[in-house]
Structure 1
């Protein structure tokens, strides 16, 4: 693990860490330590239930500050301590955020110290959800997620995987290292809803219609063989899940993958590039944003054999004639009117140069480029890193996202796309 160095956006920042009653509270100790290591001032507030999972003494030892646990602490409240604490905080981070605390914050409850502070503070508010996968998928929780986004909360996670209860699925609290990496982004990399050049709804995608392509395509050679690539679809599915959490209407066009459809996402399955193009053109006509995340095969067989191609002793080689597949992202970008168009570039060398060329040549608004030659990143992996490039008038701006879980990366990409859309929405359908 690389050493965490203090970042300008975290150095000296006053962080109020809220810990609620979930098994993931054990991660809060490591999170507090990392925040202190990043030169933050950290104070901790725990709910009553959180103290059943981790002791206040542990967090006090790690932060060097007394841990607050009660709204009705006579000693603290003699000086209106909860209001002073609310004013002190520059950033409120609730980690873990259980389904219960999310519901109470979504509906404006202030029945303990943590929820009272959240309502009484003007600080930036971020939470890291953590709960059973069924609780996360429940319509009531998803409705609360949409409400929290409207209220200005930023949600980091949850991640998918095996849970303490034995279930597998989305609901794991994001790892402390990933949370601190997100918080360390420069302001332009993580836009604030209070920034003068960002629309106030930059984190609210409820009214947006988003189409995403994901996974590989299979280009048939004969009834049993095909050309394809190593794409697993994980990045596209993480994006679909992230957009759905923000309240967008998500239309997922998926090549052949072995992934479950994210909650609240409409999925259409296709096999070939031609089928994906047809589905994409149909969906793009009704979309505000189009994201071409699929690894579409560049070529297909000129002729598909009617029967299985047989291997014979007489021929040591087999010659295939391939023809170019349609470029789906370029086709959508050339439409008029058209949605905001985002593409992906999986490269093994000269990543930025090739990405800049594709951004211009295909007429996209933004491209997400990654180096798939790096071990543990890209195709089939759970983690990825990316370089975002987008057009800003005649110039091209960029943002580098470090290696992190694809679920985390998806949220960062959504943030950037929402900012682009907020700036360019009046022109999106010209």
Structure 2
């Protein structure tokens, strides 16, 4: 449920994280809070990001590319696509990869897919999901996103978009989130790579995964015990979305609504990656931090009419050689493990001003970057809803942040995780630290 930018665990149940066909139960942080079973979030993330992973799926016209990605070997069909946002109708060759069936381990109520890929001009991709429900039925294939790195103004071939109108008796795709009417017990993902007929461009799928979850109805969330990242602060650059107010209003009315791409830009820059001078040549040279304008344009969802589509942001980071995915975390103690591993985390939350002392604003949905923790365990946050780059660093009370991030009226712990391939993830997220 991609939120408009500034818009509307340490639990005993393990967080399930897996690659390929091997599902692994992550070990919660020590000092877990004792809560009733009804109050325990359940989250399972599964990702394919290596040659071995992809070999477990079904390939139709795709082949390995490099150390662990997929590209088109030969088309298996041709189709037409009428771009609803002004790109006209074109004919495309395609090939596809379908994952094996992934058992979730519980009845999930929501699923978010995410991916990283290269889509040079003349190509794009589509990610779909099909589930098996607790009622014993298979769902149809739902489109979770149509992705192109560039929009047609920059030479791209389609307008990247979520797909509306997919509601049926099994569920609905709410922008980027499948919401099940009958809980999902397993699922498959399918990725279709498209290229112009007669061309030899290589769209490349580098990783794809999905987070399935079942969240309790919670109006208040207890504060978690300290997780060991106290006193660590990562040197993440500070970017304000507010200094971009009024810039390029065709992308969700300009910078005032760009908290998601601004947060993503901070993490990309932390890893010393980002757009080149040539990439940024379209941005007015008088604008500070042009990489934020670039990220807003290149995460913009033409259906949603915003730059806050959750998986589109890690997908944007992927064009700079980063792996990335969307998941849910269950406690701040669990988030601390990423900080200990040197990985800043983008989180999504909503709150009233009085609920977050020091914020000074209310929001129906906002994203910012957790960059560290004070010695007493309060999160240090780069908050793009600040008047200047110099004012971006904030410290928010741990209990307040945990509550507004994890409660069911907020995002339920949504997080973007973006990092270079080969960089080790924390021990409680095993087996995702592979190279491509």
TM-score strictly above 0.5:
no
State TM-score, norm by structure 2: 0.28
Q: Kindly indicate whether structure 1 or structure 2 has the higher relative contact order, using CA contacts under 8 Å at least 6 residues apart.
A: 2
Q: Which has the larger radius of gyration?
A: 1
State TM-score, norm by structure 1: 0.28
Which one has a larger percent strand, Structure 1 or Structure 2? 2
Which one has a larger percent helix, Structure 1 or Structure 2? 1
